[in-house]
Amino acid sequence: MYRYSPNTPRVSFIIRGGASRHVRWGEQSEPQQWSAPTLGFAALTPTYVLRRYSSRINNDMEETAMKTLLTAEAVQELIRTGLPSTEGEGLLVEEITADAATVRIPYNPRMLRPGDSVSGPVLMAAADAAMYAVLLAQHQDEMALTSQFNCSFLARAFPGDVIAKARVLRAGRRLVVMQVEVSTTARDDVAAFITGSYVLP
C-alpha cells in the first residue's frame, strides 16, 4: 500500500518485509529499480493501486449483477404478506431491475385531500414501498428498515394511479441510499421527490 504525508511532497511505499521506498512527486524511477527481480515482488505504485481499486469496483458490480433477483410478482407477494395494509391499497410491483423498482397504487377517491389532490401520505407510502421493493428483490430480507426519509413536494398530484420509481444511489454492506420519483397517471410531472436510506439487518 502507499500513503501520502501532507507535510512532505512525497509518497511512501511500504514494501513487504519492512523495507520502504520514498519517491517525490514527479520523480522518475528507472524501471529496473521497481522490477520484481530487484524487490522480490511487484512494487505498489500509485497506478498499480488505482488499477487494483478499479478492478475491485468492477468485480463488486459484476457480483451484484449476478445476484438472483426476485421477480416483481414475488416481491409483491412478500410486501402484501408482511404488510397486509398494502393489499387493501391494491399495491402493485410493476418492474424490478438490478438497482431499481417501480410500484403502483391504483387510484381510489379515499386518496384525495381537500382540493382534489392525492394526499402527501399516499405519495410517501408509495415511495417507501418502492424502496422496500428494491431491497427485497436484491436481498430477500424482510427485516430491512427505513433509516432516513426526506420528501420534497414539487407539484400538485392530480387524481390518478400513483407511480413511484426508486433507484439505488449507493449500496454498502449495511446501508443502502436511494432516490424515488413519485407521480400520478393524470400528469407526467414529478409530484414528490424522495431521498432515503434503508438499513440491512
Cβ atoms of 79 and 133 closer than 8 Å:
yes
Which pLDDT value is given to residue 8? 45
CATH code reported for the domain at 72-199: 3.10.129.10
pTM above 0.75, yes or no: no
CA distances from 184 to 21, 123, 127, 188, 189 (A): 62, 9, 12, 7, 8
Cβ atoms of 167 and 195 closer than 8 Å:
no
Q: What would the grid cell of residue 47 be?
A: 497506478
Nearest to 78 by CA among 162, 164, 141: 141
Terminal Cα-to-Cα distance of the chain (whole angstroms): 32
Tens place of pLDDT per residue across the chain (201 aa): 444 445 544 444 444 444 445 445 454 444 444 444 444 444 455 554 445 545 554 555 555 544 678 999 999 999 988 888 787 788 999 999 989 999 999 999 999 999 999 999 999 999 999 999 999 998 888 888 999 999 999 999 999 999 999 999 999 989 999 999 999 999 889 999 999 999 998
Q: Which residue has cell 414539487? A: 154
User: What are the domain boundaries of the chain?
Assistant: 2-66, 72-199
CA distances from 115 to 29, 87, 126, 155 (A): 73, 27, 20, 13
Which pLDDT value is given to residue 150? 97
Which pLDDT value is given to residue 40? 45
